[in-house]
Amino acid sequence: MTEQDIPNIRRARGYRLYTENGRRLVDLWQAGGCAVLGHTPRNVVRELKNIAERGLFAPYPTFAERRFIRALSALFPDGIGFRVFSDQSRMNMALEYADILKQSEDIPDPAFFSPSEMTIGTVTLWRPFCVCPSTPLLTPVLPWLLGPVVLVITEQGRAVAEKIPPSDTIAPVILAGATRAVYNLITERNTVDARRISPKIAKSLSMKGCIWKRNGIYLHTNLENEAYAHMFRVFLDANFLLPPNPCIPAVLPSELSQGEEANLSRLFAQDQHLIPSPRQL
């Protein structure tokens, strides 16, 4: 399964994707979790427009850096420092330079483990609405598709902080969108029913034989590639878009219509029967 198997998308709104041939898909991929607040996050376009009108596209130092760090401090009040990098490879290079992460080593993702199963290392991924362990360094999946990549230094990481290279200088237009997205996340996280799973879907996921495991709103399966590709097509035929491969967790949307909820519950309830036998593959 590759991203080439996904239909061409004409428009994205909320948790729904609209294809060029007129289909509407419920997005369970959500760009690996970067669209966990939907594809049209609140007030982000306004922030981008304000910065764009000032011509602040180049990666020069500006007030946008301070605003972004203040937003991160509100999201991670226990953080004692932050590093901000232009992309994942830049952060990995910084961690390798500091001898914190070995080349090609994966950063543990809490979406794939229960808290008791997860091996605690120096650096861990942090996902919204997910039980995440406390480690010296956290790298959050922020609800903003254009970056940047952030490293949060906790009190446990004070000893290694000085080894980590300084932040990159990020284009203000990128930081403005990221700042608004962080505040949107703080607002939604503080709501009373933040990401409550519907009883119907929770029941389907807890049925005997269900091949999905859940941590909060995140789902994963241990299917091999061929079996997963078959299931991907079954979900796509029912107008639900799964991640393109099983190494990426699926994400439950914050809102579904009654029909979408019923159809998704049905798929989860019967997905153990969607796995083809070896003779069918």
> What's the pLDDT tens digit per position in 68-86?
999 999 999 999 999 999 9
For residue 148, tell me if it sits in a domain.
yes
218-220 sheet: strands from edge to edge: 213-215, 218-220, 250-251
User: Are 71 and 54 contained in the same domain?
Assistant: yes
pLDDT at 276 over 70: no
- Per residue in 161-193, pLDDT (tens digit) is 999 999 999 999 999 999 999 999 999 988 756
Q: What is the pLDDT of residue 147?
A: 86
pLDDT at 279 over 50: no
pLDDT at 114 over 90: no
For residue 257, tell me if it sits in a domain.
yes
Backbone dihedral angles phi then psi of residue 100, each to the nearest 5 degrees:
-100, -35
Over residues 240-260, mean pLDDT = 95
User: Are 20 and 127 contained in the same domain?
Assistant: no
Over residues 126-153, mean pLDDT = 93
User: Are 137 and 175 contained in the same domain?
Assistant: yes
User: Are 243 and 168 contained in the same domain?
Assistant: no
User: Are 116 and 140 contained in the same domain?
Assistant: yes
For residue 82, tell me if it sits in a domain.
yes
User: Are 126 and 172 contained in the same domain?
Assistant: yes
Share of the chain above pLDDT 90, in %: 71
Closest by CA position to 212, among listed 226, 223, 227, 224: 223
- Per residue in 11-65, pLDDT (tens digit) is 999 999 999 999 999 999 999 999 999 998 888 888 888 998 999 999 999 999 9
> How many separate domains does the chain show?
2
Q: What is the pLDDT of residue 121?
A: 79
For residue 88, tell me if it sits in a domain.
yes
Residue 245's domain is classified under what CATH number? 3.90.1150.10
pLDDT at 135 over 50: yes
Over residues 109-130, mean pLDDT = 83
pLDDT at 141 over 90: yes
User: Are 184 and 54 contained in the same domain?
Assistant: yes
Taking residue 2's Cβ as centre, other Cβ atoms within 10 Å add up to 8
User: Are 242 and 120 contained in the same domain?
Assistant: no
For residue 123, tell me if it sits in a domain.
yes
Question: Distance between CA atoms of 196 and 198, rounded to whole angstroms?
Answer: 6
In terms of average pLDDT, the best of 197-211, 241-255, 267-281 is 241-255
Question: Distance between CA atoms of 267 and 98, rounded to whole angstroms?
Answer: 45
User: Are 56 and 181 contained in the same domain?
Assistant: yes
Q: What is the pLDDT of residue 3?
A: 62
Largest CA distance in the chain: 61
pLDDT at 106 over 90: no
Q: What is the pLDDT of residue 273?
A: 62
Range of the domain at 22: 3-33+197-210+231-273
Q: What is the pLDDT of residue 232?
A: 95
Q: What is the pLDDT of residue 40?
A: 87
Q: Is 3 exposed, middle or buried (0-12, 13-18, 19+ CB in 10 A)?
A: exposed
pLDDT at 1 over 70: no
Q: What is the pLDDT of residue 173?
A: 94
For residue 29, tell me if it sits in a domain.
yes
For residue 70, tell me if it sits in a domain.
yes
Q: Could you tell me if 227 and 220 are in contact, meaning their C-beta atoms sit under 8 angstroms apart? A: no
For residue 225, tell me if it sits in a domain.
no
User: Are 137 and 205 contained in the same domain?
Assistant: no
* Range list of H helices, the chain: 44-53, 63-75, 88-97, 158-161, 172-189, 199-205, 225-237, 258-270
pTM attached to this predicted model? 0.90
Give the pLDDT band of residue 281 (cuts 50, 70, 90).
very low
User: Are 176 and 75 contained in the same domain?
Assistant: yes
User: Are 156 and 252 contained in the same domain?
Assistant: no
